[in-house]
Chains A and B, each alone.
Chain A
Amino acid sequence: MRTWQFFLVSLAIALVGFAAARLLKNDYLFFAGYVVLQFIVLATAWNILGGYCGYVNFGSAAFFAIGAYTTVVMTKLPAFANRHLPEGLAEIIGSITPPPIPILILLGGVVAGLVGLGTGYLTLRLRGVFFAIATLALAVVLQTLIVNWDFVGGSRGAYVIRPATVPVLGINYIEYLFLVMLVLVVVALTVARAIERSRLGYGFATIRDDELAAEASGVPTLKLKLVATTLSGAFMGMAGAPFPYYIGFLEPSSAFGLSYAVNAIAMPMIGGTTSWVGPLLGAVLLGTLQQLATVTISSAVSLLIVGLLLVFFVIIAPNGLLGLWHDYFGRKDEKPTQATDKAAVKTS
Chain B
Amino acid sequence: MDFPVQLFINALIAGILLGGFYAAVTVGISISFGILDIVNIAHPAFIILGSYIAYILNQRFGIDPILVSILVLPLFYYLGSVVYQVYYVSFEKRGQEALRGLAFFFGLLFVTEVILILVFGVDYRYVQAGYIDTTLRFSFLDLPMRMVVPFAISMALVIGLQLFLTKTFTGRAIMAVAQDQLALSLMAADPIKIKRIAFSISIATAAIAGALLIVIQPVEPSVGREYIGRVFAICVLGGMGSLPGTVIAALLLGIVESITSTFYGPSWAPAVAFGFLLITLAVRPSGILGR
Which chain B residues lie closer than 8 Å to A134 at the CB level?
277-278, 281
- Pick from B118, B225, B232: contact of A133, CB under 8 Å: B232
Which chain A residues lie closer than 8 Å to B129 at the CB level?
none
Q: Are B103 and A314 in touch, CB under 8 angstroms? A: yes
Q: Are A148 and B98 in touch, CB under 8 angstroms? A: no
Query: B110: CB under 8 A from chain A?
Result: yes
Question: Which one of A81-89, A184-192, A297-305, A332-340 contacts B?
Answer: A297-305
A132 to B41, CA, bound (A): 10
- Pick from B103, B108, B114: contact of A56, CB under 8 Å: B103
Closest to B279 in A: A122
Q: Are B96 and A136 in touch, CB under 8 angstroms? A: no
Q: Are B118 and A132 in touch, CB under 8 angstroms? A: no
User: Interface size for chain B: under 10, 10 to 19, 20 to 34, or 35 or more residues?
Assistant: 35 or more
- Pick from B100, B268, B277: contact of A318, CB under 8 Å: B100
Number of interface residues of A (CB under 8 A): 41
Q: A311-B104, A318-B100 are in contact. Are A122 and B228 (CB under 8 A)?
A: no
Q: Which of A133, A266, A269, A314 has the most CB of B within 10 A?
A: A133
- Pick from B108, B113, B267, B281: contact of A148, CB under 8 Å: B267
Q: A137-B229, A307-B107, A314-B103 are in contact. Are A300 and B117 (CB under 8 A)?
A: yes
Q: Are A258 and B110 in touch, CB under 8 angstroms? A: yes
Query: B282: CB under 8 A from chain A?
Result: yes
- Pick from B86, B114, B267, B281: contact of A130, CB under 8 Å: B281
Convert A209-235 into 0s and 1s, putting 1 for each residue whose CB lies closer than 8 angstroms to a CB of B.
000000000000000000000000000
Which chain B residues lie closer than 8 Å to A140 at the CB level?
225-226, 229, 270-271, 274
Q: Which of B108, B236, B278 has the most CB of A within 10 A?
A: B278
Query: A265: CB under 8 A from chain B?
Result: yes
| Interchain nearest-CB distance for B144 vs A (Å) | 25
Q: A307-B114, A314-B100, A314-B103 are in contact. Are A133 and B86 (CB under 8 A)?
A: no
A56 to B99, CA, bound (A): 6
Query: A123: CB under 8 A from chain B?
Result: yes
Query: A145: CB under 8 A from chain B?
Result: yes
Query: A96: CB under 8 A from chain B?
Result: no
Which chain B residues lie closer than 8 Å to A123 at the CB level?
278, 281-282
Convert A124-140 into 0s and 1s, putting 1 for each residue whose CB lies closer than 8 angstroms to a CB of B.
00101110111011101
Q: A141-B271, A144-B267 are in contact. Are A133 and B277 (CB under 8 A)?
A: yes
Which chain B residues lie closer than 8 Å to A148 at the CB level?
267-268
Which chain A residues lie closer than 8 Å to B278 at the CB level?
122-123, 134, 137-138, 141
A126 to B41, CA, bound (A): 18
Q: Are B39 and A129 in touch, CB under 8 angstroms? A: yes
Q: Are A304 and B118 in touch, CB under 8 angstroms? A: yes
Query: B78: CB under 8 A from chain A?
Result: no
Which chain A residues lie closer than 8 Å to B222 at the CB level?
258
Convert A44-64 into 0s and 1s, putting 1 for each residue whose CB lies closer than 8 angstroms to a CB of B.
000000100010101000000
Q: Which residues of B are interface residues toward A (Cβ below 8 A)?
A: 39, 41, 86, 90, 96, 98-100, 102-104, 106-108, 110-111, 113-115, 117-118, 222, 225-226, 228-229, 232-233, 236, 267-268, 270-271, 274-275, 277-278, 281-282, 285
Q: Which 10 A-B pairs have the closest CB atoms?
A: A137-B274, A311-B107, A144-B271, A307-B111, A310-B107, A307-B110, A122-B282, A304-B114, A315-B90, A141-B274
17 contacts between A and B (CB under 8 A): A58-B41, A122-B281, A123-B282, A126-B285, A128-B99, A130-B285, A134-B278, A136-B41, A136-B228, A140-B226, A258-B222, A301-B118, A304-B111, A304-B114, A311-B107, A311-B108, A311-B111
